[in-house]
Amino acid sequence: MRVVVSPYDTEWPRLFRKEALRIAPAFGPELITIHHIGSTSIPDLAAKPVIDMMPVVRRIETVDGETTRWLARLGYEGLGEFGLPGRRYFRKGGARRTHQLHAYAFDNPETLRHLAFRDYLRVRPGVRDAYGALKTGLAASFSRDIEGYMDGKDHFIKETEALALAWWRRLPCLFLNGTVGVGKTTTLEAVAAMLDAQNVPYLAVDLDGLGQTNQKSPHDPFSRGLSLANLEAMVQRGRALGIRVVVLAGVIEGAEEREAFRAAMGGAEIFLVRLQAPDPVVEKRLRQRMVPGPALDWHLERRGELHQILERAGLDDAVVDAASKSPELVAGEILDRWNLSAIID
């Protein structure tokens, strides 16, 4: 097999998107996402002109059978694990290979390895250029020796992967804390919109919905355990989607609870922002969205009680006024104080 390393081609992302749409139906409802990985997914990196794709599924066994047969009709040769446990490998194009598929279940660590290496080189131009020069030189020296070419890259890849994984496993989490009625959900939506504009892959969760049940445990009246279990599953699947940050809106009352949230997210680095609003503002908001009765009375009383708990806990990394500014300005202030770009770059 002749080794050809080409300069980066701006058509490669388009070719990936076109093929991803073509193969997605083969995986059916088991499919979570399809990532563009490998060197052709890294802008300005020289690469062999083969589009590497990583379908991520709920259960890897579902790729066997009908999915494999469907992919065969699309020109893909299925080779099973092909040396990597838990993978399903497919290639297209024969001697003139054009595409490769590396399918994994969402909880396979290999998904993180591929995503970490890709994203690390995307934001480290010096490392990217060194890798490109290495590949170009190896292709010239081993133009008809694919094994020699691969062996020549091995040390650089392993060394860079270790750095990339350490960098990528850092999961920054912005936690919007505060009493009922201070605007946590509204601020969450504004923060998410700003992350969208900055093209930051995020998972945003209003924790109220994760523990909403009428089957309350006497020792866990706010269903914290259920919320944490659901959050853990969401973050694990979100990481396989490529999320880099988590934004949560909810309540953390003490240090032990903060540690429980951190652990549920695999050791996330929590930046805790407490939103505040004057009592008249909170009461007005609650009365506008709730009908008079026991539930409203409970929330009004709970607001004062929770305010005292959060004041005593002293867990805040920042305290932000959420009443005198628009949600967009509040979100902007929070992101400035979080300094996210310094965290993820």
Please give the class, per CATH, of domain 12-168.
alpha beta
39-61 confidence digits (pLDDT tens): 999 999 999 999 999 999 999 99
Long-range contacts of 304-308 (CB under 8 A, 24+ apart): 304/279, 306/179, 306/180, 306/251, 306/253, 307/179
Q: What average pLDDT does the chain have?
A: 92
Query: Please, what's the b/e burial string for 185-219 (b: 16 or more CB within 10 A of its CB; e: otherwise)?
Result: ebbbebbbebbeeeebbbbbbebbebbeeeeeeee
Q: Is the pTM of this model over 0.75?
A: yes
228-277 confidence digits (pLDDT tens): 999 999 999 999 999 999 999 999 999 999 999 999 999 999 999 999 98
Reported as a pLDDT band with limits 50, 70 and 90, residue 181 is confident
Instruction: Write down the CATH number for the domain with range 172-344.
Output: 3.40.50.300
265-314 confidence digits (pLDDT tens): 999 999 999 999 888 887 787 787 777 888 777 777 778 888 899 999 99
State how far the Cα of 298 lies from the Cα of 302, in Å rounded to an integer. 6
Domain ranges of the chain: 12-168, 172-344
